[in-house]
């Protein structure tokens, strides 16, 4: 297939790199061209696998026009950039091209459809975490299968390509409930960003887990009020998540270890955004819960305070505030 990646950062480069290694014609569009032209791509994962792609194998371009002949474009830009990023595709893509949102949040596929009316636009979900390191290195730190919306068979070639690149892929008639489930678990992104330590270390601390559980309980109350039923994703059961986080350490890791694998080096994308002095997706994660609570009259003080703390860290431009667990709990009242 001719595949394009629009917004090829950590997730885009990892997915695109695996597809290149599997023999597909892939064009990546983003801002890392100089780095990848020098170093190529090095992909590693929590299982110890390592794939190295020489610079000449990586077609990384700065301009969206490079995607004009693509059969499918995977959109991996930050949520706040979605509409502006995809707008040029309206003039250059062929009529049969498919556009897929592989982004955080629950509304990006709809945002793309508004900008590209009449096009085949599919919602997708990426469950895993990828950490970008300098020198064109990208590390897959957590497990889980990609999820994709069914499109009457139009998605079949892409599914085959992704599976051939060693990704698990699950298909869904309606991906909305899956996206809400992913959003629920993504509420840990902001806590990890505020803690400033690896995900596994953060989740090893019961106090940090209490914060995540509190934000999830608010989110689940909002979803119930809105009659949203988040789907089970693999072994991850949304309504059990706050209870799991409240377990003692030994029991928590015994149960959680059967659901998801977490590399000791894994960190959240929001932590990376703070460290690189970039805007975060806080308004599309905790902010989405705040908006849902406002629409349905459900108080969400924990999510509001977490958003305030992340915004303050963004404005300070000093990276993660590295809040100790007790200080974070105290800040949340």
Residue with tokens 């709990």: 329
Phi, psi angles (nearest 5°) of residue 304: -65, -45
pTM to 2 decimal places: 0.92
The CA distance from 323 to 329, in Å, is: 10
How, if at all, do strands 146-149 and 120-125 pair?
antiparallel
Rg (the chain; Cα; Å) = 19
Which residue spans of the chain are classified as CATH 3.40.50.720? 2-172
**52-81: per-residue pLDDT in tens?**
999 999 999 999 999 999 999 999 999 999
Q: Which two tokens stand for residue 80?
A: 């706040």
Instruction: Count CB-CB contacts under 10 A for residue 329.
Output: 15
CATH code of 176-332, in short, is 1.10.1040.10
How far apart are the C-alpha atoms of 278 and 199, rounded to whole Å?
Answer: 20
Q: How far is 178 from 107, CA to CA, in rounded Å?
A: 12
Q: Are 141 and 17 in contact (CB under 8 A)?
A: no
According to DSSP, the β-strands at 98-101 and 120-125 are parallel
Was domain 2-172 assigned CATH 3.40.50.720?
A: yes
Domain with CATH 1.10.1040.10 in the chain: 176-332
pLDDT tens digits, 8-51: 999 999 999 999 999 999 999 999 999 999 999 999 999 999 99
Q: What's the length of the chain? A: 333
Could you give the percent of the chain with pLDDT greater than 70?
99
Convert the pLDDT of each residue in 98-151 to its tens digit.
Answer: 999 999 999 999 999 999 999 999 999 999 999 999 999 999 988 889 999 999
């Amino acid at each position: 297939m001719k595949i394009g990646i629009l917004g090829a950062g950590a997730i885009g480069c990892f997915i695109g790199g695996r597809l290149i290694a599997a023999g597909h014609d892939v064009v990546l569009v983003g801002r890392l061209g100089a780095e990848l032209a020098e170093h190529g791509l090095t992909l590693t994962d929590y299982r110890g696998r390592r794939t190295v792609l020489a610079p000449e194998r990586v077609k990384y371009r700065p301009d969206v026009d490079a995607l004009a002949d693509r059969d499918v474009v995977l959109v991996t830009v930050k949520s706040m950039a979605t509409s502006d990023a995809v707008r040029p595709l309206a003039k250059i893509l062929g009529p049969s091209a498919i556009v897929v949102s592989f982004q955080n949040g629950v509304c990006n596929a709809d945002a793309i459809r508004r900008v590209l009316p009449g096009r085949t636009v599919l919602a997708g979900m990426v469950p895993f975490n990828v950490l970008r390191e300098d020198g064109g290195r990208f590390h897959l730190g957590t497990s889980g299968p990609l999820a994709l919306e069914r499109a009457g068979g139009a998605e079949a070639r892409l599914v085959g390509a992704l599976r051939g690149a060693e990704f698990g892929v699950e298909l869904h008639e309606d991906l909305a409930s899956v996206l809400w489930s992913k959003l629920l678990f993504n509420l840990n992104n902001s806590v990890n960003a505020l803690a400033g330590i690896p995900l596994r270390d953060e989740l090893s601390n019961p106090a940090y887990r209490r914060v995540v559980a509190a934000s999830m309980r608010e989110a689940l109350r909002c979803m119930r009020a809105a009659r949203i039923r988040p789907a089970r994703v693999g072994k991850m059961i949304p309504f059990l998540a706050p209870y799991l986080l409240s377990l003692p350490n030994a029991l928590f890791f015994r149960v959680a270890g059967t659901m998801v694998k977490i590399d000791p080096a894994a960190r959240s994308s929001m932590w990376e955004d703070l460290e690189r002095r970039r805007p975060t997706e806080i308004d599309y994660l905790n902010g989405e819960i705040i908006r849902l609570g406002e629409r349905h009259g459900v108080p969400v003080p924990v999510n509001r305070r977490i958003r305030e703390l992340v915004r303050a860290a963004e404005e300070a431009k000093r990276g993660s505030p590295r809040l100790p667990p007790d200080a974070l709990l105290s800040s949340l009242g």
